[in-house]
Structure 1
Amino acid sequence: MNAALLTRQEGAVFILTNNNPAARNAITAGLYAALPAALRAAQADPTVGAIVLTGTGDFFCAGGDLKQLATRRELSLPQRHERIACLHDLIRAIRACEKPVIAAVEGGAAGAGLSLAMACDLLVVARDASFSMAYVKVGLTPDGGATAFLAEFVSRQILTELCLTGAPMTGERLHAMGAVNRLTEKGAALAEAMVLAARIAKGPARATARIKALCGHAYGADLDAQMTLEAELMAVSQGDDEAAEGMTAFFAKRSPDFVALRGKST
């Protein structure tokens, strides 16, 4: 049996590949356990500066396996909640990871696959990739945080239309909406994601984790709450060896070496 998740490291970039090509990388039970474990391992590894999440072959993720979902009618309501919790724990694991996670999307992302992509901190997408809130087409409702993620950058009216019609959106449309960081030609998403990840991986690891926390907090906080968190994290950052190295390098007119500080406490 093939592994649900393939992992490899190139330099300071850890690459996670959803591996279910026979079903367009639909989410498997194995992925629920493997992906959070891989993220925890990457977070604990000082040689990893950034993470790229992609899919085997030419499709990112088709979402939930409909053959499995069809059998859930036989389960009790609490049992169905337990199964959905597995997906939500997967999404939370991506959001909770202190290191930046970049989605490299080819082909498309549907249903929970869209949630998986949108949970990532940055998106690199082929312009012809298709994104769909396909739940309504089989009589289901969205999960995996999809409505929350989409609501960050589209109006309520657009969100409602996307969910009620299940109509596909191209990578180009998502980019125009502001949800995509890099738009590439077909077949180039992973390479472009690697370039972006390698650039981020050179940065200050602890400051990067704090920045990710700030950006994640910003959409659910009022101004005072956000400034309070900014003050807390800025005060910590000012006492960090990373800031000392960054400022010393600035005044010396050289590039800072943040990589040498990884794994060291402040």
Structure 2
Amino acid sequence: MTTDALLTRREGAVLVLVNNNPAARNALSAEFYTAATQALADAEADPTIGAVVLTGAGNFFCAGGNLNQLITRRAMAPADRRERLELLHGFVRRLRDSSKPVIAAVEGGAAGAGLSVALACDLLVSSREAFFSATYIKVGLTPDGGLTSFLAEFVSRQLLTELCLTGERVTAERLHALGAVNRLVDAGQAEAAAIALGAQLAEGPARASARIKALCRGAHARSLDEQLELEAASMVESQGDDEAQEGIGAFLGKRKADFAALRRR
């Protein structure tokens, strides 16, 4: 699928989604939400896709919401504003619920809802020069897209409050130190590094990867007993899966596991 707002291409088993609005630093739009949500749904049903990379055109990840559009929301009824907002939130939920690993490749910066989208991905690769900012406060708005939830996973309440109340820029280096950025790379290399990481993950067992993603996504919010129950259920299911038979057999046979063959069945 390729539209004006979303460009897509395949890099082997990796699907690359490009937010294509470089003239506005890839400000988000209803067309992008609709196309990207559908692209992720299509990827879910395609066994040849093992991972997804999300990035922005023109060496900038995403500047957040389009202020020229947001300023018109004042004249809309609250229910209509909520309906428009659900396009973003539906996209974030699709990112969360995808069984395929989704990797954000950030160049330039991620601001406002662009930061929400970057943090909604499972993994984040960033150039060292990129910045991140919860800019809502600067235009009299409040966070959306799950931003406060995602930030709260790795920063204190005090730092979360500071980031949201000031809207100040945070460097990629600092987010890496805080644990939100998985890989730091030189400028212009984020997409290539994210695709390489995606290709590595795509070689793994798809169903086990999906179970691991589900376990990790909510681990911070669950009690130990709750997590033990989920881990037990996942392990029992995995032990009966063909993927475990292939993986264990390959290890014992001193050969490389061929999980891709299982996906082709």
Partner of 1:28: 29
Question: Contact 2:3–2:35 at 8 Å: present in 1 too?
Answer: no
Any conservation in 1 of the 2:115–2:147 contact (CA below 8 Å)? yes
Name the aligned partner's letter for residue 166 of structure 1. Answer: G
> Residue 2 of structure 1: CA displacement?
5.8
- Equivalent residue, structure 2, for 1:3: 4
Change (3 A) 1:11 1:113: same
Contact 2:116 2:145 in 1 (8 A): yes
1:179-190 aligned at under 5 Å gives the runs 179-190=180-191
Match of 1:195 in 2: 196
Query: Which whole-Å CA distance do the structure 1 matches of 2:44 and 2:121 have between them?
Result: 15
Give the TM-score of the pair, scaled to structure 1.
0.97
Structure 1: distance between partners of 2:226 and 2:36: 32
- 2:120 is matched with 119
CA contact (8 A) 2:33 2:88 kept: yes
Structure-to-structure mapping, 1:75-154, within 5 angstroms: 75-154=76-155
- Kept in 1: contact 2:19–2:26 (CA 8 A): yes
User: Matches of 1:180 and 1:88 in 2, distance apart?
Assistant: 22
Question: Offset of 1:181 from its aligned partner?
Answer: 0.5
TM-score for the superposition, normalised by structure 2: 0.98
| Distance (whole Å) between structure 1 residues aligned to residue 47 and residue 83 of structure 2 | 34
How far has the Cα of 1:32 moved from its partner?
1.4
Question: How large is the RMSD of aligned CA atoms in angstroms?
Answer: 1.1
Report the Cα distance in structure 2 between the residues aligned to 1:89 and 1:57, rounded to whole angstroms: 25
* Alignment length (residue pairs): 264
Aligned mates of 1:87, 1:102 — CA distance in 2: 18
Correspondences of 1:208-227 after superposition (within 5 Å): 208-227=209-228
Distance (Å, rounded) in 2 between the aligned partners of 1:18 and 1:27: 8
Shift of 1:217: 2.2
What is the aligned partner in structure 2 of residue 65 from structure 1?
66
Displacement, 1:79?
1.1
| CA shift for structure 1 position 170 | 1.0
1:81 Cα offset (Å): 1.1
Aligned partner of 1:158 in structure 2 is: 159
The 4+ residue runs of structure 1 with deviation greater than 3 A are none
* Cα offset, 1:194, TM superposition: 1.1
- Counterpart CA distance in 1 for 2:264 and 2:213 is 18
One-letter amino acid of the structure 2 residue matched with residue 37 of structure 1: Q
> Residues 110-168 of structure 1: CA distance to partner in whole angstroms, max 9, x if unpaired?
00000000000000001110111000000001011000000000111111110010000
In 1, Cα distance between equivalents of 2:264 and 2:211: 15
Amino acid at match of 1:188: Q
SS in 1 for 2:55: strand
> Residue deviations 1:23-70, cap 9 Å, x none?
000001101110110001111111111100000111000000000000
Return the alpha-carbon distance in structure 2 between the equivalents of residues 217 and 118 of structure 1. 14
Tell me the distance in 2 between the aligned counterparts of 1:140 and 1:12.
39
Distance (whole Å) between structure 2 residues aligned to residue 148 and residue 217 of structure 1: 11
**What amino acid maps onto 2:234 in structure 1?**
L
Report the Cα distance in structure 2 between the residues aligned to 1:196 and 1:240, rounded to whole angstroms: 25
Offset, 1:263 = 4.8
